[in-house]
Structure 1
Amino acid sequence: MMEKIQHSHVQVKGLKLHVAEIGSGSKAVVFLHGFPEIWYTWRHQMIAVAKAGYRAIAFDFRGYGLSEHPPQPEKESMFDLVSEIVGLLDALNIGKAFLVGKDFGAIPGYLTAAVHSERVAAVITLGIPFLLPGPSVVQSHLLPKGFYVTRWQEPGRAEADFGRFPVKSVIRNIYTLFSKSEVPIAPDDKEIMDLFDPSTPLPPWFSKEDLATYASLYENSGFRYALQVPYRSSKVETGLSDVKVTVPALLIMGEKDYVLKFPGMEDYIRSGAVKSYVPDLEIVYIPEGSHFVHEQIPEKVNQLIIEFLNKQYI
């Protein structure tokens, strides 16, 4: 089925975005990738939802993969991706869509639903609950200073760390490290890439072909935009207050996802505090799921997504 996925470039907000698409249903599902992911991360889900009668669309965010970079990446924030999502819907003549976001892609997904609820039928996120960008989005000060987000927020540091290796090695290292249940934290005298043990095999669900595809896309785009959005812009205020996501929402969390070990994160989700922002939220836990649960256990994730989508029409 992969060969049936069609690729094009669509002009959105003055930038050409790379768009992958399969399925011809009247109901559109737009997939929003995280880092170090790209449109390809959704390959299993795109095919499954297309078979279930939906139009599946995944694109590379600006500055990622085969999409164009904005002229001044360092001035960008997560909120720029909200107008990008709405602009893409306009360009594709889609009035209303389901949004599925993974990792940082969850944040603009939720923000789009909050600010443009008339354009969003429902939201599904994996690995990240509703979070509002701003100084307290991730409480880095409660983690050691070698915490990967803190390290990558420091201008020049990740560039120097990543620059020691071929792009393929950087992607391999991040995928391998970040599929574990421990938060990646470097000791004072080491960088995040130094945490990788070269004898560690690729995760069993991640093939050499998958790695080659990711590497080719990041060789094209580099890491400049990815380090700005999400990492260096995550503390930028959105200017929004009293944010509510009123559309139906589903959060899929792998219980071995290291994100649950961020300060306060597990309690925020399990206590139901997240529902003060997203009242109509269903939460499903996958016991063996990692941060890449949609690639690790695609059949289960596909089933949850399709059941949730179908339920919106009962």
Structure 2
Amino acid sequence: MDKIEHKFLQINGLKLHVAEIGSESSPAVIFLHGFPEIWYTWRHQMIAVANAGFRAIAPDFRGYGLSDPPAEPEKATFTDFVNDIASILDFLAISKVFVVAKDFGTMVAYPFVLHHPEKIAGIVTINMTFMPPAAFKSHPLPEGFYVTRWREPGRAEADFGRLDVKTVVRNIYILFSQSEIPIANENQEIMDLVKPLTPLPSWMTEEDLAIYGDLYEKSGFQTPLQVPYRSYMSLGPAEEVPKVEAPMLVILGEDDYALKVPGMHEYITSGDVKKYIPNMEAIHVPHGTHFVHEQFPDKVNQLILTFLDSNKHHSKV
């Protein structure tokens, strides 16, 4: 961990934080986090790929972690995040890159890959595959579904505001590590789904939680609630379903609650996804949860490294 360097880059009018390890002459891998994550979620993967001869780069999205928030967080969009990633790579003079993305990070990766196919050596997604708006039709979920609640302006702010930031992050990690979709009853808030003495997942330490808690204390939840939850419709026209030609590996935790979203597992495991990503392989990790890369880092690292090595020839400019 001590070898990971931290840089602040002036990007699109903001100071964005980037964690980095590995030689600048090595093939580059950029890691795109989800929520409630920051660059730190990739600590195990960054060290593993750097030790294997790659350059690992993990930014905090704008408004997350140590990166500056946008001037008007309530107007932030996925497009802002996509533009930031392209600008970070330009700033670092990286013309070809492997993209590793988790959760909503895949929604940043997808338009980035489509707009910059010449920059892409390969793609790994964790617990989510690419889903063009026209491709996946989600089925209605109850009003108490956490995504529905967090899209409602002010609802999550009031819910989170009853607790200290570290407890909010703790609760979300506990909820998202379970195999059932977080759904509250009509007279219950999402934070009430976690009993106060519920332990952290076994793979997460209090020290890990403290790092997440400190950085969300700094950033707050304003931008994270906007992107992804309140700006989902900014992902683009539903009728546009272009193909991704780059090789892609999808790593799925078998017990991830997200696979229980109606229609999700069917979409990923059916042939439908191959219409959009013909060169795709999906691997299930037994007992893996939504945070499979932190839960089983050795297993996930091995899958990523095998993919990187087999596609290394694509990383040459």
TM range (shorter): over 0.9
Q: Which position in structure 2 is the counterpart of 1:66?
A: 66
Distance, in Å, in 1 between the alignment partners of 2:21 and 2:235 is 36
Distance change >3 Å, CA 237–CA 57, structure 1 → 2: closer
Q: TM-score of the superposition, structure 1-length normalised?
A: 0.96
Amino acid at match of 1:23: G
Q: Which position in structure 1 is the counterpart of 2:161?
A: 163
Distance, in Å, in 2 between the alignment partners of 1:251 and 1:211 is 27
What is the deviation of 1:72? 1.7
Over residues 99-126 of structure 1, what are the superposed CA-to-partner deviations in whole Å (9 max), with x where a residue is unaligned?
A: 1001100111122111110111111000
Over residues 8-55 of structure 1, what are the superposed CA-to-partner deviations in whole Å (9 max), with x where a residue is unaligned?
A: 101111111101011115200000000000000000000000000000
Distance, in Å, in 2 between the alignment partners of 1:153 and 1:133 is 18
What is the deviation of 1:301? 0.2
Q: TM-score of the superposition, structure 2-length normalised?
A: 0.95
Would you say the 8 A contact 1:133–1:234 is kept in 2?
no
Would you say the 8 A contact 2:45–2:301 is kept in 1?
yes
Amino acid at match of 1:131: M
Q: Which position in structure 2 is the counterpart of 1:121?
A: 121
116-125 or 164-173, which deviates more: 116-125
Distance, in Å, in 2 between the alignment partners of 1:285 and 1:229 is 27
Alignment of 1:265-304 (within 5 A): 265-304=264-303
Q: Which position in structure 2 is the counterpart of 1:48?
A: 48
What is the deviation of 1:236? 2.4
What is the deviation of 1:168? 0.3
Gaps of 5+ in 1: none
What is the deviation of 1:251? 0.4
Q: Which position in structure 1 is the counterpart of 2:305?
A: 306
Would you say the 8 A contact 1:133–1:236 is kept in 2?
no
What is the deviation of 1:272? 2.4
Overall identity of the aligned pairs, in %: 59
Amino acid at match of 1:45: Q
Gaps of 5+ in 2: none
Alignment of 1:243-282 (within 5 A): 243-282=242-281
RMSD (Å), alpha carbons: 1.4
Would you say the 8 A contact 1:30–1:56 is kept in 2?
yes
What is the deviation of 1:242? 2.7
Over residues 268-294 of structure 1, what are the superposed CA-to-partner deviations in whole Å (9 max), with x where a residue is unaligned?
A: 011121111111111100121000000
Count of aligned positions: 311
Would you say the 8 A contact 1:137–1:235 is kept in 2?
no
Classify the secondary structure of the residue corresponding to 2:210.
helix
Distance, in Å, in 1 between the alignment partners of 2:279 and 2:136 is 22
Classify the secondary structure of the residue corresponding to 1:169.
helix
Would you say the 8 A contact 1:180–1:257 is kept in 2?
yes
Classify the secondary structure of the residue corresponding to 1:9.
strand
Would you say the 8 A contact 1:101–1:124 is kept in 2?
yes
Distance, in Å, in 2 between the alignment partners of 1:105 and 1:96 is 19
Q: Which position in structure 1 is the counterpart of 2:198?
A: 200
Distance, in Å, in 1 between the alignment partners of 2:80 and 2:309 is 30
Classify the secondary structure of the residue corresponding to 1:236.
helix
Q: Which position in structure 2 is the counterpart of 1:38?
A: 38
Distance, in Å, in 1 between the alignment partners of 2:62 and 2:271 is 33
Alignment of 1:5-24 (within 5 A): 5-24=4-23
Classify the secondary structure of the residue corresponding to 1:168.
helix
